[in-house]
């Protein structure tokens, strides 16, 4: 069991959040974070928010060791 948790910790370091800007129907700006597993080359989760700082904070809470880049 401890082995699995250790492996999961290693996976977190291989994650990158690509944050991009978009617009809703009323032309309000919102942000989308695509959480990508770099080793598997896939998106594992998407998060969105109208406040970029709040979105980055949520991403870091869920994935503490993640790299954040502009998408």
Domain ranges of the chain: 12-70
pLDDT of residue 40: 94
Q: Which tokens hold the place of 41?
A: 């080359």
Please state the pTM of the whole predicted model: 0.76
Nearby residues of 30 by Cβ (< 8 Å), 6 or more positions away:
21, 22, 23, 24, 48, 49, 50
pLDDT of residue 1: 41
Placement of tokens 């009323």 in the chain: 26
Per-residue pLDDT of the chain (71 residues; tens, 9 = 90+): 444 343 444 444 599 999 999 999 999 999 999 999 999 999 999 999 999 999 999 999 999 999 999 98
Tokens representing 39 are 């080793």
């Amino acid at each position: 069991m401890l082995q699995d948790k250790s492996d999961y910790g290693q996976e977190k370091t291989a994650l990158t959040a690509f944050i991009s800007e978009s617009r809703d129907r009323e032309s309000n700006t919102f942000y989308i974070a695509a959480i990508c597993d770099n080793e598997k080359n896939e998106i594992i989760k998407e998060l969105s928010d109208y406040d970029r700082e709040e979105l980055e904070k949520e991403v870091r809470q869920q994935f503490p060791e993640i790299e954040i880049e502009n998408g």
